[in-house]
Amino acid sequence: MTPVVAADAGWSEWPAPAKLNLFLHIVGRRADGYHLLQTVFHLLDRGDTVRLRLRGDGAIRRIDPLPGVGAEQDLAIRAARALQASSGTTLGADIAIDKRIPMGGGLGGGSSDAASTLVGLDALWGCGLGENRLAQIGLGLGADVPVFVRGRSAWAEGVGERLTPVDLPPNWYVVVDPGVMVPTAALFQAPELTRDAAHLTIPLFLSGATTVNVFEPVVRERHAAVAAALDWLARHGAARLSGSGGCVFVAVASREAAQAVVRECPPGMRAWLAQGVAESPLLGRRRAWDGQGG
């Protein structure tokens, strides 16, 4: 596809959904020190919106930079620059993100924003690199980026990059943000972290095998607000930490049940409902773009 750059080119919007880790086991370590994981990503119908606008001068500009996050740490900017380098395009982009996913919450916000930037700019710039190449570029940005590029709820292994789509029920979840940003690097270095959790298979997981999030006891001990959120949410079901936290979640029977739990959220926490989806809305957006030429 040949891109069209106009002086009055407008913005296009690309959904960037959140995810939940339904469990998270560390099952070993590679020779280079990276931890080997097993997890299941359930994509959600709620998330950020990445807005993109073409530039003809090759510049990559974030219109709404995150406070305290420089351009070299901004995953959306890094994604755009990585796509430029891989595709050889001379085009640039303005980037703006409507943030709804809490930063440092274990819901994949930065990774999802990066993936939507890759997919959106691949379309806008007419690169045509395809899902596999975009996922490869995404892996260079972070282990969670490929699942958002591929856009399907999935079983993940390795450092999180070996993905197998799984059929999950479209559960309703209540997600609670206790307002804590948890630094992931510190958790991986925690001496009390379990690094030899049970090694599972997809059939075992789907049959209801016992699973945990190995980060949960570490985060609970170090962050009282997360512990309080887990304790409150446990009144409504099997509450669990997502990723490395600090957001926690519980599956409930229906939208109405989720709404009832959200209404009871204690002061100092923020709760919302979301539904798990098999396919990311980002894929539908890309198909619509390809089918309609934008």
Q: Other CB atoms closer than 10 Å to residue 59's CB: what's the count?
A: 11
Q: Write down the catalytic residue from 113, 122, 144, 177.
A: 144
Q: Give the helix/strand (H/E) hosting 155.
A: strand 154-158
CA-closest candidate to residue 113, choices 127, 92, 134, 98 = 98
Q: Counting beta carbons within 10 angstroms of the beta carbon of residue 33, is it exposed (0 to 12), middle (13 to 18) or buried (19 or more)?
A: exposed
Query: Strand pairing partners for 16?
Result: 48
Any catalytic annotation for residue 144?
yes
DSSP letters, 16-31, are: EEEEEEEEEEEEEE-T
DSSP state of 144: T
Catalytic residue, chosen from 19, 74, 113, 122, is 19
Q: Which residues pair with 15 in a beta bridge?
A: 49
Give the catalytic positions in this structure: 19, 144
